[in-house]
Amino acid sequence: MKVTFVYRHAMVNDENKSAEVFSVFPRFLDTPGLIEQDFRVMFGEQTANKFLERWPTTFKAGVIKESHGLVPSTDLLDLMRNAETSTEVEKDGNKRAAAS
């Protein structure tokens, strides 16, 4: 996937081709860590580490909100369901911690 990074990045930034990324690169969906790998290639280790530390609190809610405006697919719906479920678990954990 590192070898195809430049090509995939160009696809994602092209409105006419961005919807095809997962059909051209289906392993992107079922291989853990590929999105993180691309982020590290784009921004370097130090920035990637900061981003990953802040992901749950800073970006997650916005990404979930934006995903509701996308054309639904089975994969997207699965990802959204997982993200929303983990957000609910985080909120419940925070409520219990605050009550203690």
**pLDDT tens for each residue of 40-99:** 888 888 888 777 676 666 677 788 888 888 888 888 888 888 877 766 555 555 545 444
Task: Say if residue 51 is in the same domain as residue 68.
Answer: no
Task: Say if residue 43 is in the same domain as residue 66.
Answer: no
Task: Say if residue 67 is in the same domain as residue 88.
Answer: yes
Task: Say if residue 50 is in the same domain as residue 14.
Answer: yes
Task: Say if residue 52 is in the same domain as residue 75.
Answer: no
Position 18 confidence tier, pLDDT thresholds 50, 70, 90: confident
Task: Say if residue 54 is in the same domain as residue 6.
Answer: yes
Distances (CA, A) of 32 to 1, 93, 94: 12, 25, 27
| pTM of the predicted model as reported, rounded to 2 decimal places | 0.46
Task: State yes or no: pLDDT of 35 exceeds 80.
Answer: no
In the chain the first and final C-alpha atoms are separated, in Å, by 46
pLDDT reported for residue 41: 87
Q: How many CA atoms lie within 13 A of 61 on its CB side?
A: 6
Query: Tokens at residue 32, please?
Result: 């853990």
Q: How many CA atoms lie within 13 A of 88 on its CB side?
A: 6
Structural contact between residues 52 and 36, judged by C-beta atoms closer than 8 angstroms: yes
Structural domain range at position 97: 59-100
Q: How many domains does the chain have?
A: 2
